[in-house]
Amino acid sequence: MFRQDRTNPSKAVSNWKGRLDSKRGHPSTLVSNWTNGALFGGGAVLYAGYIAGGPSARALVAEQLSFPDEVGSVVPDVISLVVGYASGCANNEVAGYTGSGYNSGYYPAGALKMSKWMFATRVRVNLTDITCVYVATNQGGPGYGYGSYSNSGVAGYMATGSGRCNSSAYEAFTTASAIKTLYSNDTQSIVHPAVTLGSHDYGGTAGLYAGDASQNSGVAGYYAGGIRATQSDQIDKMPFSTETPAMLGVSARMATGAYYTRCTANQGTAQYIFPGSHATGDIDKLAFSSDTTSVVATDLSSARSYMGCFTDSNVAFYVSDATAGSTYDRFALPSDTRSVIGGMTDGRTGGPSSFSNQADF
């Protein structure tokens, strides 16, 4: 075990707990850290949130905000390809994953590249190209406009999206499937369906587009908003044990239907949903204990859409500027009270990939 008090005795006692010692949650994930240098030979893992991608000349450079000191910096080469309309997820303590998304070189298809950012060694690993199955079967790759969630220690999911994986023709379909990546060996499979189907779906096909997702790790993934026949206020829940999605009831609806949503979660407690297309600054909160929604009393400091967001569970969640700004909206947990902090070098919009490595998870 790394003991900060022995190697850096000037640090306050309050900084020791939960930052560099063993974690309380998901003990099975810790074993994989041993071979990735987190405990042997590589020093301690940095806890931080990351935002990479979006339509920016610096999109390959990620914004990093370290926990708990909230110091911002930039990290190059976190993702392998400039992508927007994307989403990210993390195998906590091990790696953050980004795949697919919009890239002009692949249009009208989504990019087929996937990569992971290793938290211990701080290097990017390029993975096998994303599984591509003909989209008319409604089981294609995510394309762009998808949402991601993670069952930490087990698998990550990239769900829904444009579903286009053939760049030779514009295919007006969306997908209801998810690409599932096993964390043990990074192999892919298709989960179908990953969201509920029905006559409300977009483009004449049973899929969803431009929503986002997050998770109660170990329990279920939650997909919020997006375009069905119109801007959706619905939330789908997919239990990890069965991988069978169900639409939650009317007590678990967003206050306003929206696409370009962004989601993040306080592990074990709640999901936070930002209804991007309306750019009102409102925040919906889904309590995991009851699967019911409410509206957070304090809005974002300014309206924004399709930005980056991440969480340091039981401490705060952070929402990036979506323009050329340099601040984050910080919402303390569990009070959901807002402050504005610095730390960004370049605001991100257009659906960047966001993920975090959390100490209390």
The model carries a pTM of 0.84
Q: What per-residue confidence (pLDDT) applies to 254?
A: 95
**Average pLDDT by stretches of 10, the chain with 361 residues:** 34 35 38 34 77 73 94 91 86 93 73 89 89 55 84 94 60 74 94 74 62 96 88 94 96 92 97 86 96 97 92 97 88 98 88 93 80
Cis, peptide link before residue 193, omega less than 30° from 0: yes
Distances (CA, A) of 70 to 65, 67, 78, 106, 330: 6, 5, 19, 36, 10
Which CATH class for the 47-357 domain?
Answer: mainly beta
Q: What per-residue confidence (pLDDT) applies to 349?
A: 84
Residues 6+ apart with CB under 8 A from 151: 157, 215, 217, 218, 221, 240
Where are the domains positioned within the chain?
Answer: 47-357
Q: What per-residue confidence (pLDDT) applies to 221?
A: 98
Q: What per-residue confidence (pLDDT) applies to 198?
A: 55
Q: What per-residue confidence (pLDDT) applies to 137?
A: 53
Distances (CA, A) of 77 to 33, 74, 122, 312, 314: 22, 10, 10, 23, 29
Q: What per-residue confidence (pLDDT) applies to 23?
A: 47
